[in-house]
Structure 1
């Protein structure tokens, strides 16, 4: 995220996050990465190179089991994994809470609107006609121009 930084992930944070998420429901590796990024409000997005080895380690420890369905591996807690979470509640917390960027409400609101706009653009691309896509392109070009114009203008109220 922009406008502030959360703290850097520590050793064990990926493991704790995976266990916390799998305690809610089974997930694949991609879903784990996306959920951490979403819950940390963009402050932390662990790489596949951090998540998949941690999943393998948890599998080796017998805390997690993987099941393949339709070519996708989904991971879920084993009984031993659920027992581990109960006896290690201090370790298995939500580390993403500490990694949210420190941003004000205006910045968070602007990011939220930008994400919603990106989803709307994807809908236009997926379902829009050629004419609708051309119109959306014009709108984005105009929006980009206006955003740069905001920076070029004097601060509002400075006259």
Structure 2
């Protein structure tokens, strides 16, 4: 597969977003299932890990793709413990094996400059912590987090103003 051309930033100085092509979600799901059965959430995490935090597909793109793969007879879903686990069918194993070297996460990751990978990964980890805080934090924890977020926002703008 030829490398993707770099995308021009929409505004001067703005960095490009990761470039995901049509069919990349499908190819990534088949590649992950080639390694073994997984549920949708595990596949989303797997794509994010393999792309070094650059690409985290939404459930709104993953689950319809899984449904299409199931309709095509390439994957089968099994309910267990309130979660649906997907596995390749015989037909799906053949298709996944033929395309095993074409898993798109590396190509997507290359669309972002290397110096931004760590920053994106840190942002993803912060987002995960924020989600936990919103779901489980008490009033004191939420108040402390608000102060921290306001200070962090101010500090980021100070960094940008240093030119």
TM-score normalized with structure 1 length: 0.69
Distance 2:161 2:27 in 1: 45
Question: Relative to 1, partners in 2 of residues 1:123 and 1:65: Cα closer, same or farther, differing over 3 Å?
Answer: closer
Q: Give the match's secondary structure for 1:75.
A: strand
Aligned to 1:150: 159
Aligned to 2:112: 102
Alpha-carbon deviation of 1:129? Answer: 4.5
* 1:23 maps to 2:34: yes
C-alpha contact 1:6 1:98 (8 A) present in aligned 2: no
C-alpha contact 2:34 2:88 (8 A) present in aligned 1: yes
Task: Calculate the aligned-residue CA RMSD, in Å.
Answer: 3.1
Q: Give the match's secondary structure for 1:23.
A: helix
Aligned to 2:15: 3
Alpha-carbon deviation of 1:59? Answer: 2.5
Cα offsets for 1:105-136 (capped at 9, x unmatched): 2x333333333334444455555543333222
Question: Relative to 1, partners in 2 of residues 1:141 and 1:31: Cα closer, same or farther, differing over 3 Å?
Answer: same
Gaps of 5+ in 1: none
TM-score normalized with structure 2 length: 0.67
Greater CA deviation, 34-43 or 131-140? Answer: 34-43
Runs of 4+ in 1 over 6 A off after TM superposition: none
Question: Relative to 1, partners in 2 of residues 1:84 and 1:148: Cα closer, same or farther, differing over 3 Å?
Answer: closer
Gaps of 5+ in 2: 1-13
Alpha-carbon deviation of 1:139? Answer: 1.7
